Chain A
Amino acid sequence: MNLEFTPEEQAFREEVRSFIAENYPKHLADFGMREDMSREDFLAWHKILGRKGWSVPAWPVEYGGTGWTPTQRYIWSEENARASTVMPLPFGVSMVGPVIYTFGNAEQKARHLPGIVSGEVWWCQGYSEPGAGSDLASLKTTAVRDGDHYVINGQKTWTTLAQHADWGFFLCRTDPTAKAQEGISFILVDMKSPGVEVKPIKLLDGGYEVNETWLTDVRVPVENLVGQENKGWTYAKFLLAHERSGIAGVARSKRGIEKLREIAANETLEGAPLIKDFDFAKKVSQLEIDLAALEITELRTLAGEQAGKGPGPESSILKIKGTEIQQRLTELTLEAVGTYSAPYMGGVSNDNSNEHPVGPDYAAHAAATYFNMRKTSIYGGSNEIQRNIITKMILGL
């Protein structure tokens, strides 16, 4: 056993670090991810990486992947987190892309994969419904065959950033008589089709990042069915396991802890920096310890992947611990900013809205981020569902 990176891996780190330094758009530097960004800003880095051939590192080389080892991919995500880059969104790159190259036909691969690689095409995910959240298989949206089309009717919800989407991948019921999981199909829908309506949902941090998506008599050519009819649940599960493995966010949380330490060094308690306060410092260290445990756990999973094992039910551990750490980070940031956690920067003010935030810059989004990050233990299969998966698949209960 050995935790050190090889000289080749070190050299790789230098290479990607300088590539990021030289090519990452300056106006997005240290910006992080913000749901109110323009479509162009969301896609800026993706497009640069697309031209470099680095936008879909985990994909097979024949479809645009880099052929990097899992360790190299890990270094890549670490370096991006270090620079707080706006990474390519997961909907195309980590969700529908792998489903298409694994289960799609040659025509679908040729039609859809290049747009994901280049960052030209924006995808959204049509899974959850108002009545089908944790119990996703109870979904009611129907796709009825009519000649060489499906006619889709139903309502999806929590469709993240669908306001920008060109295409969506939807789970629809194609066999209403089958058992819950067995009558579902995985269908690609052009979001410009007549009958698709996207309505924003305002979240409690004031932002608009998710939507309701209504589908009314939407006609979709049958060639947009991925894989076999009524086998969609298999592809959906495959996709969710992929979604989970990226969800740990170790590298981002590492950067988050650095930022938390910077904030706590700026804040004062009885005339001294807050980070010198034992009670507070202890909490930051505890978080760092939890993150170290998660990081090695993720590396062990990656090593398993390198040895040819796909992401299995242990990725649920990564989701649970990863999101708990992300939430704890926002909690401690809120504690650190103290009094200035209260002003709402998206709100009414007697100043110009573009004026400097009330209080220090780092306090401006602390509360909003804390509120927003509550979603992480709910989405991607709630942490309760992840525990159910471990109970069933690992403990065998």
Chain B
Amino acid sequence: MDFNFTEEQGMVRDGLSRLVREQYDWETRRKAIASGAGWRPEVWAQLAELGILGMPFSEADGGFGGGAVDAMVIMEEFGKGLVIEPFVPTVVCAGGFLKHGGTAAQKEEHIGGIVSGERVFAFAYAEPKGRYDYADLETTAKKDGSAYVLNGHKAVVFGAPWASHLIVTARTGGERRDRSGVSVFVVAKDTAGITTRDYVTVDGRRASEVYFENVSIPAEALIGAEGEGLALIELVTDEAIAATCAEACGAMKVAHAMTVEYSRQRKQFGVPIGSFQVLQHRMVDMYTAYETAVSLTYLATLRLGSDEVERKKAVSAAKVGVGQAARLIGQEAVQIHGGNGVTDEYAIGHYFKRLTIFDSEFGNVDHHLKRHVALS
């Protein structure tokens, strides 16, 4: 057993921590969110330069040979600064599909661009009526000679306005919600027949509704075997959940620290409000929730390579525990900040918003409790 980070992981964390501290200050972040682009491509380029975007890829694929723990370290730092750039969709999701299911040609075609920062991906899996079931698909990909024709509507595709490419899930066979018949494709976003409706999300990111109308894509766009994509989707989204949990842990850590600090500074009745036992104990409960959330995130991250049942149980456990902690910490942090907590000006409200939307990504608390029950 060993819960220590390697020297290299420590260096990655320190480097990222410095980048976030020096270049991701609150005003700059706010301006980037309000800008037309909605993000900072120059930050993305810096992440490429630091080797962050290539971290989880093997050296043979042109990366730096890191693993899930490296992704966890990176995401925790992103969470601390509420970084909005699309690391999860591009590196964890698209990168994951390519690593685990891509052909040599697909890896060759895409991984270099991800590592260098030139290629940005979004993962189009959610649908208006699918809730959190990856197999509940109305989007179809019909075989047409050697090509496929895509039709459908994908909902709330995070990072899509910035993306050059999309990973798309679609049904190539079977009935809606069947486990078989689900396939995964990689397509350029500028392919004829793809239209988007772009918008800001409540936590300051960007997303799109993506519409496919008779989009013709070549057979080489298929990732993995036709109709057998669900297991691959579950693996990659489990990796994305572990990464997103680490991001939430970073955000919770800062939200808790800000709250404790505020309770030291804010005086009412002639004393700091942090001297009231009723608030002290609630901040202790927040802290306990944070520490146990970190433990579950470690568990999920370290079990990503285990057999399927163990992996899924650990990941669902983390999504449940971190989801519950995120709600508690977000709400209590705002409450203890009083009126200031509900203003746009104070950073705490933005941590609260990010921690709120976390629950709806890749399945909420109820969804993962059910998955855990089903596997137990």
Binding site for B on A (CB under 8 A): 128, 131-135, 138, 157-158, 201-204, 206, 210, 267-271, 274, 279-280, 331, 334-335, 338-344, 347-351, 358-360, 367-368, 370-372, 374-375, 377-379, 382, 384, 387
Interface residues of B (CB under 8 A from A): 34, 36, 38, 126, 128-129, 131-133, 136, 155-156, 158, 176-177, 196-203, 207, 209, 267-270, 273, 276, 278-279, 327, 331, 334-335, 338-339, 341-345, 349-350, 352-353, 356-357, 359-360, 364, 366, 369-370
A9 to chain B, nearest CB (A): 39
Main secondary structure of the interface of A (DSSP, over half): mixed
Q: Once the chains bind, are B339 and A133 in contact (CB under 8 Å)?
A: yes
Question: Are B199 and A347 closer than 8 Å at their CB atoms?
Answer: yes
Known contacts A343-B156, A343-B202; A338/B360 CB under 8 A: yes
- Chain A residue numbers with a CB within 8 Å of B342 are 203-204, 371-372, 374-375, 378
**In the complex the two chains form, is B197's CB within 8 Å of A270's CB?**
no
* Chain B residues near A377 (CB-CB < 8 A): 335
Q: Would you mind naming 24 contact pairs between A and B with Cβ atoms under 8 Å apart?
A: A128-B339, A131-B267, A134-B338, A138-B269, A158-B339, A206-B344, A267-B131, A268-B129, A270-B131, A270-B177, A271-B136, A339-B155, A340-B156, A341-B357, A341-B360, A342-B360, A343-B156, A343-B207, A344-B199, A347-B199, A347-B201, A350-B198, A371-B202, A382-B335
Supposing A338-B131, A378-B341 touch, asked if A358 and B360 sit within 8 A by C-beta, the answer is no
A208's nearest neighbour on chain B, judged by CB, is B344
Q: Do the beta carbons of B156 and A342 come within 8 Å of each other?
A: yes
Question: What chain B residues lie within 8 Å of A203 (beta carbons)?
Answer: 342-344
- Nearest chain-B residue to A280 (Cβ)? B366
| Closest Cβ–Cβ distance, residue B316 to chain A (whole Å) | 14
Residues of A within 8 A of B366 (CB): 279-280, 335
Chain A nearest CB, measured from B340 CB (Å): 9
Query: Which of B136, B198, B267, B345 interacts with A270 by CB under 8 Å?
Result: B136
For residue A263, give the distance in angstroms from its CB to the closest CB of chain B: 13
* Distance (whole angstroms) from the CB of B282 to the closest CB of chain A: 9
**If the complex has contacts A367-B356, A372-B342, A378-B338, are A342 and B268 also in contact, measured as CB distance less than 8 A?**
no
Indicate if the CB atoms of A371 and B131 lie closer than 8 Å: no
Closest residue of A by beta carbon distance from B266: A133
Q: Which of A271, A274, A347, A368 neighbours the largest number of chain B CB atoms within 10 Å of its CB?
A: A347
Bound complex: CA A201 to CA B342 (Å)? 10
* Other 5 A-B pairs with CB < 8 A, given A201-B343, A358-B199: A134-B338, A348-B38, A349-B200, A371-B202, A375-B342
Would B198 and A344 count as touching, CB distance under 8 A?
Answer: no
Shortest Cβ distance from B331 into A: residue: A374
Closest to A206 in B: B344
Bound complex: CA A339 to CA B133 (Å): 11
Q: Which of A280, A343, A350 lies in contact with B201, CB distance below 8 A?
A: A343
Q: A343-B201, A347-B199, A374-B331 are in contact. Are A271 and B177 (CB under 8 A)?
A: yes
Q: How far is the CB of B363 from chain A (nearest CB, A)?
A: 9
Which residue of chain B lies nearest to A271 when distances are taken between CB atoms in the complex? B177
Most buried by B among A206, A280, A358: A358
CA distance A132 to B350 in the complex (A): 24
> A382 — which chain B residues lie within 8 A by C-beta?
335, 338
Which of B199, B203, B339, B345 interacts with A348 by CB under 8 Å? B199
Please report the number of residue pairs spanning A and B whose Cβ atoms sit closer than 8 angstroms: 154
Contact partner of A368 among B202, B335, B350, CB < 8 A?
A: B202
Q: How far is the CA of A143 from the CA of B369 in the complex (A)?
A: 59
Which residues of chain B are near A341, meaning CB under 8 Å? Answer: 202, 356-357, 360
A350 and B160 alpha carbons, distance in the complex (Å): 13
With a cutoff of 8 Å between Cβ atoms, the chain A residues found around residue B359 in the complex are: 335
Report if A348-B200 is in contact (Cβ < 8 Å); known contacts: A271-B136, A359-B155: yes
Residues of B within 8 A of A335 (CB): 359, 364, 366
Q: Assess the B343–A342 pair: CB atoms within 8 A.
A: no
* A135 close to B268 (CB less than 8 A): yes
Do A204 and B177 form a contact, CB below 8 Å, given A267-B131, A268-B129, A270-B136?
no
For residue A385, which residue of chain B has the nearest CB?
B268
Tell which of B38, B279, B338 has the most Cβ of chain A within 10 Å.
B338
A138 and B196 CA atoms in complex are apart in Å by: 54
* A202→B350 CA distance, assembly (Å): 13
Shortest beta-carbon distance, B171 to chain A, in Å? 14
Give the complex CA separation of A341 and B349 in angstroms: 17
CB closest residue in chain A, given B128: A359
**Residues of chain B within 8 A of A350, CB atoms compared:** 196-199
Are the C-beta atoms of A384 and B201 separated by less than 8 Å? no
Q: Are B268 and A201 in contact (CB under 8 A)?
A: no
A340 and B364 alpha carbons, distance in the complex (Å): 13
Within the assembled complex, what's the spacing in Å between the Cα atoms of A157 and B199? 32
**Which of B133, B202, B360 neighbours the largest number of chain A CB atoms within 10 Å of its CB?**
B202
Please measure, in the bound complex, the distance between the C-alpha atom of A271 and the C-alpha atom of B176, giving whole angstroms. 9
Bound together, the chains give a CA A270 to CA B131 distance in angstroms of 8
Residues of A within 8 A of B203 (CB): 342
Q: Say yes or no: A347 contacts B200, CB within 8 Å.
A: yes
In the bound assembly, the distance between CA atoms of A206 and B350 in angstroms comes to 11
Q: Which residues of A contact B177 (CB under 8 A)?
A: 270-271
Q: In angstroms, how far is the closest chain A Cβ from the Cβ of B323?
A: 11
The smallest beta-carbon distance between A329 and chain B, in angstroms, is: 14
Residues of B within 8 Å of A133, CB to CB, are: 268, 338-339
Considering the chains assembled together, what is the distance between the CA atoms of A370 and B202 in angstroms?
Answer: 11
A267 / chain B contacts, CB cutoff of 8 Å: 131
Contact A270 B133 (CB under 8 A): yes
Given contacts A341-B357, A378-B335, A378-B339, A204 and B155 within 8 Å (CB-CB): no
CB within 8 Å for A268 and B131 given contacts A128-B339, A343-B199: yes
* Contact partners of B156 in chain A: CB under 8 A: 339-340, 342-343, 358-359
Asked if A384 and B278 sit within 8 Å, CB to CB, the answer is: yes
Given contacts A342-B357, A343-B207, A350-B197, contact A279 B132 (CB under 8 A): no
**Which residues from chain A contact B199 at a C-beta distance below 8 Å?**
343-344, 347-350, 358
B357 touches A374 (CB 8 A): no
B200/A344 in contact, CB under 8 A: yes
Given A342-B202, A342-B203, verify A134-B268 contact (CB < 8 Å).
Answer: yes
Kindly list chain A residues whose C-beta atoms are within 8 Å of the C-beta of B273.
134
Residues in B neighbouring A131, C-beta threshold 8 A = 267
Question: How many Å lie between the Cα of A359 and that of B156 in the bound state?
Answer: 9
Chain A residue at minimum C-beta to C-beta distance from B330: A374
In the assembled complex, the Cα of A204 lies from the Cα of B341 at a distance in Å of 8
A349's partner among B128, B158, B197, B335 (CB-CB below 8 A) is: B197
CB–CB B132/A370 < 8 A = no
Query: Complex Cα distance A161/B273, Å?
Result: 28
CA distance A294 to B128 in the complex (A): 36
Bound form: Cα–Cα A138–B267 in Å: 11
Q: How far is the CA of A341 from the CA of B156 in the complex (A)?
A: 9
